[in-house]
Structure 1
Amino acid sequence: MFIRINDSLSVAGQIGPAEIAEAKAQGFTRIVNNRPDGEAPDQPAGDVIAQAAADAGLDYVAIPAAGGFSVPQVEAMAAALADAGGPVLAFCRSGTRSTNLWALASAMQGGDPDALIEQAGAAGYDISGLTPALRQLSAAAR
């Protein structure tokens, strides 16, 4: 199930090759993988998902994250969202990391922290713990 955050981004828990066709049918142009390979024994490898995305004509970007986020990861997410040419589907184990990374990337580009928290909350993700970081990134962008 894909969870809509806004017009540009939806998130999901782990997807596999079978979900790529559904993503294509729903109009996504890029898949962003925020899950490191080998995090769980039953997860498909990123290369398998990347190949399925390529076969379906979708862009694929891997930005694996675990145990927090680095500035390069946030910058990479911002870039992946900025040049996607359409809606993005980002996934991890539950969609939470992808939502957090989107919010940080959006704040880094000057997004309003309160609006980001509200959008995530409306989709079922509580990112209020990121408030200080979101405010700092947003202020630095202005």
Structure 2
Amino acid sequence: MSLKKLAEDIAVCGQLLPADLPAIAAEGYKTLINNRPDNEGADQPARADLEAKARELGMTIHYLPMATGTPPSVELLQAFNAIFESAEKPVLAFCRTGNRSGQIYSGAMALKGH
């Protein structure tokens, strides 16, 4: 698992597994944003398992999926901004490879004029 830091308080990465979350928590991440739709791939863990492990470790996790091959909608970007603004930092967003999460973050910041 390779984290790509986008700003001081946010990074993105590829698919997380429940077993990855203790290390993520140990690195100080407080909030996770899952941008991968359920059942997108056979290698994907169940969302409920990720959510349960995150809560067990004291992290907050949000589900904000974006299908691959589609641009993020304005509604999705607004929802990301709402989550990000109220989230305990730092935040780690993830999808299959981290690319969609990065696109969402960039689009959300552009929407805010940053």
Fold match, TM over 0.5? yes
2:79 match: secondary structure: helix
> What is the correspondence of 1:1-142 to structure 2 with a 5 Å cutoff?
1-66=2-67, 67-111=70-114
Structure with the higher helix share, 1 or 2: 1
Question: Any gaps of 5 or more consecutive residues in structure 1?
Answer: 112-142
TM-score by length of 1: 0.75
Number of residue pairs aligned between Structure 1 and Structure 2? 111
- The alignment yields a C-alpha RMSD, in angstroms, of 0.9
Q: Partners in 2 of 1:19 and 1:10 — Cα distance?
A: 15
Deviations 1:52-108 (A, max 9, x none): 111100000000001221222111111121111211000001100000000111111
TM-score by length of 2: 0.93
Structure with the higher strand share, 1 or 2: 2
Counterpart residue identity of residue 106, structure 1: M
Aligned-residue sequence identity (percent) comes to: 35
